[in-house]
Structure 1
Amino acid sequence: MIQGIFGSEGQLFFELDLITNDGLNLPVDAMLDTGFTGFLAINKQDLDSLDWIYIGKERLRTAQGETKFSTYSGKILLDEQEYQIPVYAGDEITEILLGSKWLKILPLVANYQAGLLTLG
C-alpha cells in the first residue's frame, strides 16, 4: 500500500518509479485522474530518457475531444511491484497521470477529513 498526498485543490498524488529501458528507477509524483481510463499518461518530452518501446498510435477521448496519442510499452514500480503497462504519450499532457484502470486491481482509500490517502 502506498501513501498519497492531497494537492492544494484536492488532487490525489502518488509517488511511483518510472523504470527506464536500462533498469534505472526515476521517482515521480503522478496525479490520479479517474476520467482517464488507461493506466498511465505522460508528456512526450518526458519519454526521451525512458527509452520505452513504441507500440503505435491510438485515438482516445479527452475533455478537449478526440485526440491521437502515441502508445508505448512502459515499466513502472508502484506499491513495490513492477508493472509492464501501455503508456499513452501526448504533447498536451501536463502532469503524469494515473488512470482509473488501476482501481480495477488496487483499492483506493481517500478520506479528506482524516488526511488519509492510500492506493493498494
Structure 2
Amino acid sequence: MMHGIVNSSCEATISLVVSNTNRQTHLIDAVIDTGYTGFLSLPREIIVTLNLPWTGFDRGTLGDGSEVTFEVYAATIIWDGQYRNIPVNEAETDPLVGMSLLYGYDLYIRAVEGGNVTIKPVE
C-alpha cells in the first residue's frame, strides 16, 4: 500500500523514487492524473539529471483534443515496495502519474486539502 496527500491546489500527490540504470535516484512528488493514460511524465530537467536512456517516441491526445508527440525514456521506480521498469514521457509539467501505472490498484482520495491518498492492490 502507498500513501500520498492532497496538496493546497487540491491535487492528489504521491512521492516516488525514480532511478536510472546506474541506480542513481531522485525523489519526486507527482500529481495523480486520471486523464493521463501513460505511466509517468517527467520534465526534461529530471530526465537529464538522471541521464535516463532514450527509447523512442509516443503519441498522445491532450485534454483539449490536440495531439502531441512525447520523447520516451526508460526508468526504474519503486512502486508498492518493488522495483519496476517503466517508460517515462518527457513533458514540461509537474511530474504526473498516469493510469497505466495505477492499473491493478485501487485509488482512494479524501478530496480536501491535506486529505489522504491511498493506493493499494486490487483484491
Task: Report the TM-score, using the length of structure 1 for normalisation.
Answer: 0.87
Q: 1: CA distance between counterparts of 2:31 and 2:46?
A: 15
In structure 1, list runs of 5 or more residues that go unmatched. none
1:85 maps to what in 2?
Answer: 86
Aligned residues: CA RMSD:
1.8
Structure 2 unaligned residues grouped into runs of 5+: none
Contact 1:16 1:76 survives alignment (8 Å): yes
Provide the rounded CA distance (Å) in 1 between the counterparts of 2:55 and 2:34. 24
State the Cα distance separating 1:84 from its structure 2 match. 0.3
* Corresponding residue for residue 70 of structure 1: 71
Q: Per-residue displacement from partner, 1:34-55 (whole Å, max 9, x unpaired)?
A: 1100110111222112122211
Provide, for residues 61-113 of structure 1, a one-character-per-residue CA deviation record: whole Å limited to 9, x for no partner.
113511111011111112221110111113xx320000012332222111236
User: Does the CA-based 8 Å contact 2:25-2:50 persist in structure 1?
Assistant: no
Structure 2 Cα separation of the partners of residues 45 and 24 of structure 1: 15
TM-score in terms of structure 2 length:
0.85
Letter in 2 for 1:80: G
Q: Percent identity?
A: 28
Alpha-carbon distance in 1 for matches of 2:7, 2:49:
27
Q: What is the distance in 2 between the residues matched to 1:68 and 1:49?
A: 22
CA-CA distance at 1:33 after TM superposition: 0.5
Q: How many residues align?
A: 118
The CA deviation at 1:59 is 1.5
CA distance in 2, matches of 1:30, 1:82: 17
Which amino acid in structure 1 is aligned with residue 2 of structure 2? I
CA distance in 2, matches of 1:116, 1:46: 26
The offset of 1:27, in angstroms, is: 1.1
Match of 2:9, SS state, is coil
Amino acid at match of 1:7: N
